[in-house]
Structure 1
Amino acid sequence: MPKYVIEREIEGAGQLSEDDLQGISQRSCDVLGQLGPQVQWLESYVTDNKVFCVYIAPDETLIRKHGEMGDFPIKAIHEVKTMIDPTTAE
């Protein structure tokens, strides 16, 4: 199943409290439960003003639906074509 990186612009994301992040995570999981097992949230990276989320889904449609249902902004969705790491150089 394809993997995607979702870019979200959220002003002040890096200043969100643990309680804020927990609430956002709970809302995301609730929406994912409604959408079913075809879309999975793997992890997210929070920076100063953006959040980059990694999802697995059959296509972008369910990711966009998740964003709409949870009121999560989507600036861009990028399909991961391959992964590399330091071992790729060997």
Structure 2
Amino acid sequence: MATFLIERNIPGASELTRAQLQEIAATSNEVVENLGVPYTWRHSYVAGDKIYCVHETDDTETVLEHARRGGFPADLVVGVTAEIGPQTADL
């Protein structure tokens, strides 16, 4: 599976309550279970008016279908081509 970074513009995202975030997560999990294809939601970051998500699946169209079924925006979907961090300097 490929890894995708999804940017979701959600005004006031950083002010969502714990209960609202739990509801969003539950909806996402339900959609993942019903997609009928390999799909993994790794994690998401809430920052400002955006939520950045890391998902794994076979193609961009499946990411967009997840967003459509869940009622989530998917304003930007890009495939991840590499992952780097402090340890990359040691390679």
TM over 0.5: yes
Cα-to-partner distance string for 1:5-35 (whole Å, 9 max, x where unaligned): 0000000000000000000100000111101
TM-score, length-scaled by structure 2 = 0.95
Name the structure 1 match of 2:3.
3
Other structure's SS at 1:26 match? helix
Instruction: Look up the SS of the partner of 2:32 in the other structure.
Output: helix
Which residue number corresponds to residue 49 of structure 1?
49
TM superposition score normalised by structure 1: 0.96
SS at match of 2:11: coil
Number of equivalenced pairs: 90
RMSD value, Cα: 0.8
| Matched residue, 1:77 | 77
Calculate percent identity across the aligned residue pairs.
36
SS at match of 1:61: helix
| Partner secondary structure for residue 82 of structure 2 | coil
Runs of 4+ in 1 over 2 A off after TM superposition: none
Residues 27-38 of structure 1 aligned to structure 2 (within 5 Å): 27-38=27-38
Q: Following the alignment from structure 2 to structure 1, what is the Cα–Cα distance between the partners of residues 36 and 49?
A: 29
